[in-house]
Structure 1
Amino acid sequence: MVSVEDQLYGGTVATAPEPESVLLPGHDVPLGRYTTVRRLLPQRQLRMVGAWCFVDHFGPEDVSGRPGMQVAPHPHTGLQTVTWLVDGEIVHRDSVGSDQPIRPGQLNLMSSGHGIAHSEMSPAEHPPGMHGLQLWVALPEEERHGEPRFEHHAKLPVLQDGNATLTVLAGRFRSVESPASVHTPLVAVEMVVRGPGSHRLTLEPAFEYGVLTMSGAVDVGDATVTPGSLLYLAPGRLELTVEAPGEARVILLGGEPFEEDLVMWWNFVGRSHEEIVQAREDWMAGRRFGQVTSCSADPLTAPALPTVRLKARDRHGRTLG
């Protein structure tokens, strides 16, 4: 008798081929005057993981006697920003009136809608260390023209898996769901491993995933993931085994592949060259984005647009049109 697997996969083996995985190195990028981040998304060969379209890992850094993070008011369109700290303190201020410190174990989520401005500043009296993530989520067409909003979540759902603690930052994982508002099927989980161990994570087979470490190293399949790299996992997996030789802080990002083609430039996520041009003009003219009145720093000046037309790209970075 020929098995279903044989019929589907050519009769040579009784299992499906392993979904694609690739380990991608990040690169350092200056953020503001005093901070350098490791940018893990977007990359030339991979623009997104689900709706996650931007991943910056900053620190761990000693900021004692230094200003820390100092990012003056700047605009956003078409996205959500997600900030997660494991050390330090940053104050978020925005043009809808938010003035919110974020500390380790807390989540800030800002939805730009059609336009918002915000600043991110370490307070004058801040802890000596700084370590965290900032991520962007692309908003789908039906949400990206809405009103801007801000959320602060001081507590998030936590699960235990042996010697590991899993915090659900966004979306649903196992039996719990984060209170953070999301608009496409996605997930973000932090796993803090306190010593050697093997951990099996249940996955959604329709999701693609990215695995990164903020500290320590883990083995996932044939890949060793260390800070500064991102392991991409294509859809089709039911579970994932993470082998930790010692202490590690692991981030799992996932989501259904985001099929809308994007134009990303500076702090804007749009769908066309014309949208980006208009957003830049509005920011420079003081329109649309409001003012961050609780921040005394001067707003950032938008860089000059490139001399060529900005083109939409799909999730793999392929230019369209």
Structure 2
Amino acid sequence: MKLHDGKLRELALAVIQVEAEAVTALARQINDSFVSACKLMYNCKGRVVVIGMGKSGHIASKIAATLASTGTPAFFVHPGEASHGDMGMITKQDVVLALSNSGETEEIVKILPIIKRLAVPLIAMTGNPKSTLADFSTTHINVGVAQEACPLGLAPTSSTTAALVMGDALAVSLLEARGFTRDDFALSHPGGTLGKQLLLRVGDIMHVDEAMPLIHKSALISAALLEMTEKKLGMTAIVEDDNRLVGIFTDGDLRRMLARNLDVHTTAIADVMTPNCTVIKADALAAEAMQVMEQKKINALIVVDDQHYAVGALNMHDLIRAGIV
């Protein structure tokens, strides 16, 4: 069969349509069984142990990761390995969430008596409510689909999508029930850009002490230019005797000043600075500083304390280097 652009688009749209219908149909399964499953996991004193074979195993692993990152301790156990020692990872304090579209997966059925002996609650997620796994479970969530998106009806497609979505529904419902916050989420995601956006504070990256550009309001423009050149932030804070911030002088202010033909050696910085400038606190998120800069269309911020004393400074390049962008 030759590849035809139109046919490829037609096939892709058909897959999306079938899977979208499968997901929509899941709404009927948000019932008492779903609520029971949520309660079992919410009240679990140990961890949610998620198991599954083949494609269901991949989905189970992702569900375990989603649960763990949203406030419900969970991990994945391969049912094939469970029969060879990994059952020891399941304790009487745990809850087992087992995925099998048929509900008859041999590796899972084989360990059901051991789960029963442990008296561990078993949540089954299958496409067959009359299966061995469903019958054996404490509560069963039906994720059956009308058809697979595969034209042969063989490759797990709609069924795995439905199971994945149901797993997300469980995780997010539990997240809300636990009062899981952005700060909690940040602690689960300390690495990468996401972690930096949620954890990194302005105080962690701002320039302070001798590295902070700062001059007195009585200084001349020439002194401000020297300070900006030395500190290399494209601006300087303007302060009173006690370091209380009164304004900022930036590269933009410099360009506007030059257009007025002012003498840098005789003009006071207070005459050309920007008073009442935008500031930020040291405990603000670095991501918040980025938002402020983008909204105000500025490239630098002075950091102040509760008494409006200048305590630091940062610019867009600092945020870029920190990986916030």
Q: What TM-score does the superposition give when structure 2 sets the normalisation length?
A: 0.25
Q: Which protein is bigger by CA-based radius of gyration?
A: 2
Judging by fraction of residues, say which structure has more helix.
2
